[in-house]
Amino acid sequence: MTRMFALLALMPLGLIAGAPVWAAPAAPANAADSATELNVLHWWTSTSERAAADHVAARMAELGLRWVDGAVAGGGGGPAIKVLNERTLRGMAPKVAQLNGQATIEWAEMGLLLELDSVAKRRQWSRTMFPQVMAQLNVREHVVAAPLGIHRINNLYLNKAVFRRLKIELPTSWAGLASAAAALRAAGVTPVAFSDEPWQVATVFETLLLSEAGPALYRRMVEQRDPQAFNDPSVERAFQRLRDWRNLSGGAGERPWTSLVADFAAGHKAMLIMGDWARGELGTLGLEGGRDFACQAVPGSAGVHQFSIDTLAMLAGNYSAQAEQEKMAELLGSATLQLGYNRIKGSVPVRRDVPVDELDLCAQQSYQLFANPATARVPSLVHRMAFDEVGKNAFIETVHRFALDPKQTPAAAQRKLQGLLRALGPKSVKPTP
């Protein structure tokens, strides 16, 4: 909260008072053009992400809305959020921004987001959307973002052609993975695609934490931020697993997630732990989930859906674009857009009422699991479903330092994580359901 006030204090007065916040677009052809433009700041820059964004832009064009692109490269969105902060502080906020989970809450608490209650009511979002999705959109009883798709994080992808060619059985347990890795190595194939980019390391780690701790304890750690929960031996085991997994990758350094996917698709690496945006990217490379690659849960997390939900928030500014922003929000939540977009993106629809039988097997699996009331659904920390931006980044740095320092023991990393959690203090913002 203090940080938010600090941010507000830094803002140009005009912004707080609702003066125009977006720099005028360079010489619009005519008034109508500028009225229908919506600048969208996001981090979808891979081929599939781009195609999914283009799909939305094309549907918007049919409604007379122009998507003016503001893509900021950088998987996981760290750089994009920095740019959003910077632009907003300079009075140049975009009209629309990719803001997920806790980041949405932070921006809504500062009073910067347009409330979309009338759209949600008109389109009966509380009836058609999953309750967990609605919970992400609601801040202080107001809908403050429009949902796009639900990603699953705890996926293990196996390149079927490689396993078939080498006659190695598809592994489902950690022991099976270890022997498969040995066989792959013996055949000259690097077992694992892994990147040292901080957010990617931490994304793998949070799946391993879930795997070792199980959903109940994981919730105590990530949702409730209970420092005691971080004393559990599962944390040390998760760090050890991270080290082992990274050791199976041949140490390729910091690489964008798209190059891991490309390596995996080409069969240079046989296994990959990644959020299912990777499945979208594999699709653009001609690979189909279920047919060309197996999508399993990371061992130990079968039946658990570790989710992150992509949402677009509308920056209120001086409310001059409210009608267009509402029109866009309405479109994003529609059944047709949901199917078209998610098919490309690798995520699954946020609505309960769309037929998903045309999506690939992996998507159907993710959707059914998320839809099942008996499923344990747990939030992704790294993808903003549980911690605010600063706490999330501190978590990522702690995990990343461990990964890059072979001298740091898993027990020492656990102590650092405990220390971090104690220092961050209890959760102050609204809990995820």
- Residue ranges in contact with ligand BGC by CB under 6 A: 43, 49, 75-77, 100, 151, 277, 308, 310, 383
Tell me how far, at minimum, the Cβ of 49 lies from ligand BGC, in Å: 5
125 vs 277, beta carbon nearer ligand BGC: 277
Closest by CA to 143, choosing from 132, 131, 135, is 135
Q: Considering beta carbons, is residue 77 or 410 the nearer one to ligand BGC? A: 77
The nearer residue to ligand BGC, 71 or 161, going by C-beta atoms, is: 71
Alpha helices of 95-231 — where are they, by DSSP H? 101-109, 117-122, 125-128, 131-137, 160-165, 174-186, 198-222
- State the distance between the two ends of the chain, measured CA to CA, in whole angstroms: 21
Q: Between 43 and 293, whose beta carbon lies closer to ligand BGC?
A: 43
Number of helices (H) and strands (E) in the chain: give both, helices first. Answer: 20, 12
Q: Could you tell me which residues are beta bridge partners of residue 98? A: 312
Min CB(111)–ligand BGC separation in Å: 25
Instruction: State the nearest-atom distance from the C-beta of 418 to ligand BGC, in Å.
Output: 26
Instruction: Give 155's contacts (C-beta < 8 A, 6+ positions apart).
Output: 207, 273, 274, 275, 276, 278, 279, 295, 296, 297, 298, 362
DSSP-derived letter for residue 150 is E
**Residue 42 DSSP label:** E
Question: What's the closest the beta carbon of residue 128 comes to ligand BGC, in angstroms?
Answer: 21
Q: Which two tokens stand for residue 419?
A: 């220390």
Q: Minimum distance between the CB of residue 362 and ligand BGC, rounded to whole angstroms? A: 15
- Smallest separation, CB 116 to ligand BGC (Å): 20
Shortest distance in whole angstroms from residue 424 CB to ligand BGC: 21
Nearer to ligand BGC, 208 or 309 (CB): 309
**CA-angle at 87, arms to 84 and 91, nearest 5°:** 135
Q: Which residue is nearest to ligand BGC (CB)?
A: 277
Distance CA 235, CA 225 (A): 14
Q: Which is nearer to ligand BGC, 136 or 234 (CB)?
A: 136
Closest CB to ligand BGC among residues 237, 343: 343
